[in-house]
């Protein structure tokens, strides 16, 4: 099993579905509340969406060059390893496995539970409490029935992805198409609603505003955009990667930006800023105002389908990171195993699914996505900068696609990423320090695995 390779069986539409399906998850249904509270007005919310989308597109344009040049499993792991050495590649893989990707999966599953509770309120009931300061905000850890349901969804999708990239990719395409159709249906209903008015675009609420408010809102927006890089993690399984990876990244991100802007146009057309600022489920609130309770229930179904697709894409792609580490001798050796029949990194899928399920118990939605965004953007900045490093150190590398707007595009991405990292550290020190602590915990493991590989 160890010596087998992953199979190139994911086509262009499957790759696009990984981008779109993984990015559009829970964020578009949940983060508008946080964004308007931080910025104060719809105009600023739209500006943050456009800014975050442009930043993600800059990242995608840069990653397209790296993906086409190094179509290997693990995505950024390969780029950081090649540009900076094995230590930084390992730190990426370690962080993705234990914090970033697993935390993202846990966050999505938590939102799935929130929407499922619309139909089964008993899921919100407390099951038991652990009287230790390990819960959100340092309080006691409360475990609810819905968290167990979320864990079951993660494990189910891990089981599905065990059966091959064709199965996982097929599920991804089908569910992504369905959720895009449903979201566009919500947009059409919102923009044609008789209760809507353009006057809502001029409403406002009290907010922190300024630079602090902008970056806090940007963190929320970037959570909604997070995942555009996931297709890079399955690069070793994409057909014709020099062509399909750049196309999937660019088309996918442009599609997401368009869908997000249309959705927010619908939200603010129907709801004034103060109603969005008090709604944890803004799409459901909008549809309830238009169609009553059946409309809110329909949105909850759409949200769960959307989150389901994002979860599937995250498990499909994220499980390739510990596989890539293990293949180079920098992780548990069992994670390098490829299933002889299905051609999947089955042990790596199992590890990521189980650990993500554990993280579901550790926090609520906003604490989880802040913990994920902080270390993720440290790694995104380093990976994006690697395109500049490799242009200088590896001028002979074959580059079927080159970054449009180089070097301005990657430099701007890195500068904004650094500002975001600093802002998040000051605004959310607990979650940021926790993320840094887990990164630092990888150093002794690297030394041990590196020593074993060298010997």
Q: Which structure tokens are listed for 151?
A: 């864990």
Instruction: Calculate mean pLDDT across residues 371-393.
Output: 86
- CA gap 249, 234 in Å, rounded: 12
pLDDT value, residue 372: 65
Least confident of 68-82, 354-368, 409-423: 354-368
Instruction: Calculate mean pLDDT across residues 135-139.
Output: 62
CA–centroid distance for 410 within its chain:
20
2 found inside a domain = no
Q: Which residue has the tokens 């493991």?
A: 445
134 found inside a domain = yes
Least confident of 197-211, 233-247, 329-343, 426-440: 426-440
For 70-108, how does the pLDDT look when each residue is reduced to its tens digit (9 = 90+)? 998 888 999 999 999 999 999 889 988 988 888 888 888
State the average pLDDT for the chain.
87
Q: Which residue has the tokens 């995608």?
A: 60
CA–centroid distance for 125 within its chain:
28
pLDDT at 14 over 80: yes
7 found inside a domain = no
More confident residue, 254 or 220: 254
4 found inside a domain = no
Least confident of 201-205, 431-435, 438-442: 431-435
pLDDT at 322 over 50: yes
Q: Which residue has the tokens 């390779």?
A: 5
pLDDT value, residue 395: 93
pLDDT at 1 over 50: no
Largest CA distance in the chain: 72
3 found inside a domain = no
- CA gap 113, 120 in Å, rounded: 10
Domain extent, residue 31, equals 12-454
pLDDT value, residue 297: 87
Total structural domains within the chain: 1
pLDDT value, residue 137: 60
More confident residue, 428 or 93: 93
For 338-358, how does the pLDDT look when each residue is reduced to its tens digit (9 = 90+)? 988 888 899 999 999 999 998
More confident residue, 440 or 129: 440
Question: What is the CB-side half-sphere exposure of residue 380 using CA atoms within 13 A?
Answer: 33
pLDDT value, residue 2: 45
> Which domain CATH number covers 148?
1.20.1740.10
- CA gap 240, 250 in Å, rounded: 16
Least confident of 309-318, 324-333, 428-437: 428-437
pLDDT value, residue 36: 94
pLDDT value, residue 398: 92
pLDDT value, residue 367: 62
Alpha helices in 192-229 (DSSP H): 210-225
Instruction: Calculate mean pLDDT across residues 366-370.
Output: 61
- CA gap 384, 66 in Å, rounded: 9
Run of H or E residues at 130: strand 126-130
Return the closest-CA partner of residue 180 out of 268, 259, 265, 254.
259
pLDDT at 203 over 80: yes
Run of H or E residues at 141: strand 141-144
Report the predicted TM-score, pTM, of the whole model to 2 decimal places.
0.84
- Beta-bridge partners for 238: 10
61, 272 contact by CB (below 8 A) = no
């Amino acid at each position: 099993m160890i010596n087998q390779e992953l199979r190139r069986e994911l086509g262009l539409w499957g790759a696009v579905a990984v981008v779109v399906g993984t990015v559009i998850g829970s964020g578009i249904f949940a983060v508008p509340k946080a964004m308007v509270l931080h910025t104060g007005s719809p105009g600023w919310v739209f500006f943050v969406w456009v800014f975050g989308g442009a930043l993600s597109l800059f990242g995608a344009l840069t990653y397209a060059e790296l993906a086409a040049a190094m179509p290997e499993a693990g995505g950024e792991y390969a780029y950081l390893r090649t540009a900076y050495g094995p230590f930084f590649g390992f730190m990426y893989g370690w962080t993705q496995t234990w914090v970033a990707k697993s935390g993202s999966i846990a966050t999505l599953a938590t939102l799935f539970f929130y929407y499922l509770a619309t139909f089964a309120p008993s899921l919100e009931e407390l099951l038991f409490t652990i009287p230790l300061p390990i819960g959100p905000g340092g309080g006691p850890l409360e475990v609810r029935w819905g968290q167990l349901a979320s864990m079951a969804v993660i494990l189910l999708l891990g089981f599905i992805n065990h059966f091959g990239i064709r199965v996982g990719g097929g599920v991804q395409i089908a569910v992504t198409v369905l959720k895009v159709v449903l979201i566009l249906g919500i947009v059409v209903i919102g923009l044609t609603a008789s209760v809507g008015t353009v006057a809502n675009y001029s409403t406002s609420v009290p907010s922190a505003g300024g630079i602090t408010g902008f970056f806090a809102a940007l963190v929320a927006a970037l959570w909604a955009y997070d995942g555009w890089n996931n297709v890079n993690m399955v690069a070793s399984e994409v057909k014709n990667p020099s062509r399909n990876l750049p196309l999937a990244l660019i088309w996918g991100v442009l599609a997401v930006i368009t869908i997000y802007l249309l959705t927010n146009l619908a939200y603010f057309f129907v709801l004034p800023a103060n109603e969005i600022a008090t709604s944890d489920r803004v799409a459901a609130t909008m549809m309830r105002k238009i169609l009553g309770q059946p409309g809110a229930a329909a949105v909850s179904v759409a949200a769960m389908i959307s989150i389901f697709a994002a979860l599937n894409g995250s498990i499909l792609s994220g499980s390739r990171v510990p596989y890539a580490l293990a293949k180079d001798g920098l992780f548990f050796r069992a994670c390098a195993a490829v299933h002889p029949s299905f051609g999947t990194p089955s042990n790596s899928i199992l590890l990521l699914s189980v650990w993500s399920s554990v993280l579901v118990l550790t926090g609520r939605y906003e604490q989880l996505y802040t913990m994920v965004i902080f270390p993720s953007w440290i790694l995104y900045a380093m990976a994006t900068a690697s395109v500049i490093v490799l242009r200088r150190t590896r001028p002979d590398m074959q580059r079927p696609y080159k970054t449009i707007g180089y070097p301005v595009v990657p430099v701007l991405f890195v500068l904004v990423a650094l500002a975001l990292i600093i802002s998040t550290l000051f605004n959310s020190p607990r979650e940021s320090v926790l993320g840094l602590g887990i990164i630092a915990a990888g150093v002794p493991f690297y030394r041990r695995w590196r020593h074993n590989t060298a010997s």
